[in-house]
Structure 1
C-alpha cells in the first residue's frame, strides 16, 4: 500500500479512536493499558498517565475478573473471534461503573497475539432502572401476598360476624311481635343477605385470576342494578333522591360479580353523595347495546364536574373534585380499574351545576339460544 494511503488510514483510525463517544482501549498481553481514548478517561475518572501506570485488573471488580480473563485466553488461542460481557469497574472516586465490554484481538502477521482491543459502554443508568423495576415488582408481589392474606382473613372474619348478626335477627323475630312486618327490619335482613353475597363474590376474586378477559362469564345486568339500588335505598331515602331504573331486563354482560357490584354501587353512591341541594335529585340508569358492547348509562342532576379542569385527573388515585370532608378520591380510580379489567371503558359528560352522565361499556354476552 502506498505510504500516503497508510498515513491516511492511520490518521482516520486515530480520529475514530480519539473521538468515539464510548470508551476504547488497547490492552497489552500483560493486561496493561497501552492506549485509552478521552471517553475512557472521562468514564472512569483517571488520566491517561494514571491508566498507563495500571493493569486493567487493578480497577476491575473481583467478582467479574475471572470470567473476563477466561474469555481473553480464549481470544489468544483463537477459540473465539470476540466476546461481550457485563463488567464492573471502579471509578477513581470509588463508585462502581457498570459497563458493557466488547473485546477482540489483534494479531501479528505471523499469527502471534499482539494486543486486545476493548470497547466500553456505560450501562450504569440502565442497570439502576432495571434494579428499580425489579424492586417495584418485588414490592408489588409482597403487597399482593399481604392483600391476599388480608382478603382471606377479612372474608373469614366478616362471614363470622354476618352469621352472628343473622342469629340476632332470628332472635329478634322470635321475641319481638310484629317486627317481621317492619320495613326497616326487612331492609336490615335484606342488607345482611346482600352482604353475604358480596363476601362470596370477594372469595371468588381471591381464588381466581381475572386479569384475562377469557375468565369472565355472562351476568344479567339488571339484577346487579336492582341489588345496588336496594342497598342504596336508605341513603337515597335520606337524601330524598329518586332512583330510576330503566335497564333492560334481558341484557347480559361479560363480567365478574364482585366487580359489577362495586362498579354500580360506586356510581350510585357518588351520584347521591354529590346531589344538588337546589333541586330534587334523581339518578337514572339505562342500558343500550352498541356493536359488541352493552352500555350502562348513569345520569344525575347533581353538582357536576368541571371537566376542563379535571379531565386528566378524573380517574386518578386520590383525586377529588368537591370539597367534602369524607371524599377520598378512591372510588372512581377503583371503578375504572374494574371496568378495564373486564375489557370495557368509561366515558363521561358533565356540566357544573347541571349534572353528570357516565357511560360504562361492558362486553356483550352472547347467550346460547
Structure 2
C-alpha cells in the first residue's frame, strides 16, 4: 500500500493478471469510505489512502515519515500505544480501538482495526490500520446516557416528592389531630390556645404545599428552585408545626448561631431534612433523660454546615456506619421505624450538591453534619 504496486497475486499469475489484480485491490483501498493507513515499526506513516487524506485535509508528502500519534488527541495516546503493543504480542491478529482525532470541524471519534503484517518468515514488516468515523454513533450514545441520567434524576425527585407528601404533610396533619384531641372538653382558654396553635400548624401545612408546588413546577428542569431561607426562622416554624410532640417529651432546643443566619437552598428539601432530623431525634430519644437538641452552623470551604446534635440512644457506627443512610435500614427495633428518613435526607442533600456526615456514640449522642453548598439566589 504505497506508491508501488500492491503485490497480491500468486507466482503462477501472468503479468497481465498481476496488473489487473493490483488495480482492483488498489481501487478498493483508495476509493472506499474507510480510512486505510500503514505505519512502519516505529509508528511513522508510510501510507495514507486518499479518503483519509481528504477527510482530514492532509497532504501525504507532509506526513509520510512523521509519527502517526501526532494525529491523535493526547488523551487517547495511551490507548493507541497499548493497542499497538497488543498487536506486536499477537502478530496477525486484529485489535480494535476507538481514537479521537483533530478535524477541521472539531474532534471526531474514529474506530480502528490494527494488525501487524509479517513476511513469510514471520518477521513484522509494518502495521496496517483500517478505520471509520463513528462520531455520530458516539454522540447518540452520549445523548442516550444523558437521557438515562435525566431519567434517574427525575426518579430521585419523584421519590423525594412522594416522601415529602407522605412524611411532611402527615406530620402537619398529625399535629392538627393532636391539637383537636387536646381541645376536646378543654376550657375556653385552652381552646383559644389550641385555636392559635391550629392556625400556626395550618399555616405550616400551607407553606409545605407551596414548596411542593415549586418542586412540581420544575420537574422538567434539572435544577431545583433556590431561595434565601433564614435557617433559625425555618427551624422554629417546623418545630411550631409539631409542637405537641415536643411539649409531650419536655424537649430542650438550643441554637449556637445568630438569628440572621441564612442559606440559599431549596425550601421543600430543607424543610424535609430538618423535619426528618427533628422527628428522628424524638423517635430515638433516651428513656433515662430529657431530650436535648443542639443546633449550630459554620462555614467550611465551599459549604455551609448545619450541625444537629441530640442526646438520644445513639447508633453503633462500628457495626452500622456503612448502613446508616441505606434504604429500609433500621437499628433499634422500633415498631414504627421504616428505615427511610436518613436515606431520604442523604438523597435530598446530594440532589442539592451537598453531603451529610454522622458521628455517634451509643447511649450518649448523635451528631449529623449537613453540608449545603455555598451559592447565591
TM-score norm. by structure 2 comes to 0.52
1:229 is aligned to 2:239:
yes
Deviation string 1:39-98 (CA, Å, 9 cap, x unpaired) is xxxxxxxxxxxxxxxxxxxxxxxxxxxxxxxxxx997484227479xxxxxxxxxxxxxx
Distance 1:246 1:211, change over 3 A: farther
Structure 1 residues 118 and 256, CA gap change in structure 2 (3 angstroms): closer
Change (3 A) 1:101 1:237: same
In the alignment, structure 2 segments of 5+ residues that lack a partner are 1-24, 37-110, 118-127, 131-140
8 Å contact kept, 1:211–1:341: no
Q: Does the alignment pair 1:359 with 2:375?
A: no
Contact 2:153 2:222 (C-alpha < 8 Å) held by counterparts: no
- The number of equivalent residue pairs is 246
Q: For the residues of structure 1 that align with 2:234 and 2:200, how far apart are their CA atoms?
A: 14
Partners of 1:207 and 1:74 lie apart in 2 by 62
Change in 2 beyond 3 A, CA 1:74/1:352: farther
**2:260 is matched with which residue?**
250
- Number of the residue aligned with 1:208: 218
1:254–1:364 contact (8 Å) kept in structure 2: yes
Aligned partner of 1:79 in structure 2 is 31
**Offset of residue 343 of structure 1:** 2.9
**Separation (CA, whole Å) in 1 of partners of 2:156 and 2:297:** 38
The answer as to whether partners of 1:285 and 1:298 remain within 8 angstroms in 2 is: yes
Structure 1 CA distance, aligned partners of 2:256 and 2:153?
44
C-alpha contact (below 8 Å) 1:75/1:81 kept by paired residues: no
Over the aligned positions, Cα root-mean-square deviation in angstroms equals 4.7
Alignment partner, residue 314 of structure 2: 304
Question: CA separation in 2, counterparts of 1:256 and 1:138?
Answer: 21
The alignment status of 1:219 with 2:171, answered yes or no, reads: no
Q: Helix, strand or coil for the counterpart of 1:295? A: strand
Question: Which structure 1 segments of 5+ residues have no match?
Answer: 1-72, 85-99, 107-116, 120-129
**Once the 2 structures are TM-superposed, how far is the Cα of residue 198 of structure 1 from its aligned partner?**
0.2
Q: Scaled by the length of structure 1, what TM-score is found?
A: 0.53
- Residue 332 of structure 1 and its aligned partner are, at CA, apart by 0.9
User: Displacement of 1:185 after TM fit?
Assistant: 2.7
**Equivalent in the alignment of 1:349:** 359
Summarize the alignment of residues 1-369 of structure 1 with structure 2, pairs less than 5 Å apart. 76=28, 78-80=30-32, 82=34, 137=148, 140=151, 144=155, 147=158, 178=188, 182-208=192-218, 211-212=222-223, 216-364=226-374
User: 1:312: how far off?
Assistant: 1.3
Match of 2:87 in 1: none
Cα 1:81–1:296 change in 2 (3 A) is closer
Judge conservation of contact 2:249–2:290 (CA < 8 Å) in 1: no
